Amino acid sequence: MGRLSQIMPQAVTQQTLSPEQIEAFYHDQFVEDQVHDFEALRNGDTLNRIVDIGGGVGYFARSLSEKTGAKTRVIDMDIISVERCRESGVDAIQGDALSPPKTGDESVVCFNLILHHLVGKDEQATRTLQLQALRAWKGNVSYIFVNEYIYESAMLDISGKLIYLITSNKILSMVGSAIARIIPSFNANTFGIGVRFRAHQEWCKLFAEAGYQVSDSRLGQNENISLPLRALFIKNIRRDSFRLEPKD
Ligand SMILES: C[S@@+](CC[C@H](N)C(=O)[O-])C[C@H]1O[C@@H](n2cnc3c(N)ncnc32)[C@H](O)[C@@H]1O
């Protein structure tokens, strides 16, 4: 280890998906639920600008604007997503969720299915990145809206940890890809990079550590879990939404 790295703490870096992997997310499958939950957790608050972090090609932002007249903005690291937002009339900035560009007009930020992609080289680094993205907005917005995948396990919140272990490890990912050729439900487009799902209470613990309390939440519908996925001790998979307010 060099002398400088002994003195300076090393920055934690995100393991990012390739453009081809990101392209798989150019769909509006979850937007209706996300907009519905957003409105349900809004509590009638008057909002200025709603910023969608990792907002992709802008389906959520556009739908929210059309339904409620809200001013929205997408921040995404993927330039193709940002260009597609702009082509469809959605305000968008290319930026990193870990050091987001701010303009001062933000009332609420949304994290729709992005936190589980903020993964580092190990569990600790992954937690650090997810905390950093949430803390980046402390003191700048009234509240944060999160829509996230929930993986409840038959024991010890093990499923999310196992999925991260497999998807972040090159050799295990090669084995996983080979299995997925025979059992398609085993497929993950995050093989070789990593993805970190958590149980409902695990997410709540992370939010508390970032300095937020869950003031309201909505539980999604349980998805079907195929037999092979039960080998990962998965009990329930769903998408929940949370309203996070600063603790102090
Ligand atoms: C699974 S997609 C979610 C898209 C959309 N929010 C949705 O709910 O369907 C994750 C998105 O997060 C973006 N992303 C991942 N890491 C990011 C980062 N550090 N900063 C900004 N955007 C990021 C990706 O480019 C992608 O558009």
- Domain spans in the chain, listed from the N-terminal domain onward: 18-246
* CA separation for the pair 54, 78 (Å, rounded): 9
User: How close is the Cα of 26 to the center of ligand 1, in Å?
Assistant: 10
Q: Is the CB of 96 under 6 A from ligand 1?
A: yes
Ligand 1 centre from 76 Cα, in Å? 6
Tokens 């990962």 sit on residue: 232
Average pLDDT estimate for 66-74: 94
53, 74, 75, 77, best to mutate for ligand 1 pocket (most atoms within 8 Å of CB):
77
Inform me whether the pLDDT recorded for 31 exceeds 50: yes
DSSP state of 163: H
CA 3 to ligand 1 center in whole angstroms: 36
Q: Is the pLDDT of residue 149 over 80?
A: yes
- Closest by CA to 76, choosing from 97, 98, 102, is 97
Q: What is the topology classification, in CATH, of domain 18-246?
A: Rossmann fold (3.40.50)
Is the shortest distance between the CB of 237 and ligand 1 below 6 Å?
Answer: no
| Mean pLDDT confidence for 145-162 | 95
Q: Which atom of ligand 1 is found nearest the CA of 56?
A: 27
Average pLDDT along the chain? 93
pLDDT at residue 1 tops 60: no
Q: Specify the higher pLDDT residue, 9 or 89.
A: 89
CA of 7 to the centre of ligand 1 (A): 33
Give the gyration radius of the chain's Cα atoms.
18
Name the more confident of 172 and 8. Answer: 172
pLDDT value at position 34?
A: 98
Ligand 1 near 57 CB (within 6 A): no
Residue 179 in this model has a pLDDT that exceeds 80: yes
Helix (H) and strand (E) counts for the chain?
Answer: 10, 7
Residue 9, pLDDT > 70, answer no
Helix-strand-coil percent breakdown of the chain, rounded to 5?
Answer: 40, 20, 40
- Residue 170 tokens, joined: 């090159």
Confidence of residue 185 (pLDDT cuts 50, 70, 90): confident
Q: In the 8-state DSSP scheme, what is residue 231?
A: T
Instruction: Give the pLDDT mean for 159-174.
Output: 92
Query: What is the pLDDT, as a whole number, of residue 3?
Result: 59
Residue 4 has pLDDT above 60, yes or no: no
State mean pLDDT over 182-194: 83
- Of the candidates 217, 175, 216, the residue with the CA atom closest to the CA atom of residue 192: 175
Is the predicted pLDDT of residue 57 greater than 80, yes or no? yes
Specify whether the CB–CB gap between 230 and 209 falls below 8 A: no
Tell the residue nearest (CA) to atom 13 of ligand 1: 54
Mutational pocket test of ligand 1: of 13, 16, 18, 25, the residue with most ligand atoms within 8 Å of the beta carbon: 25
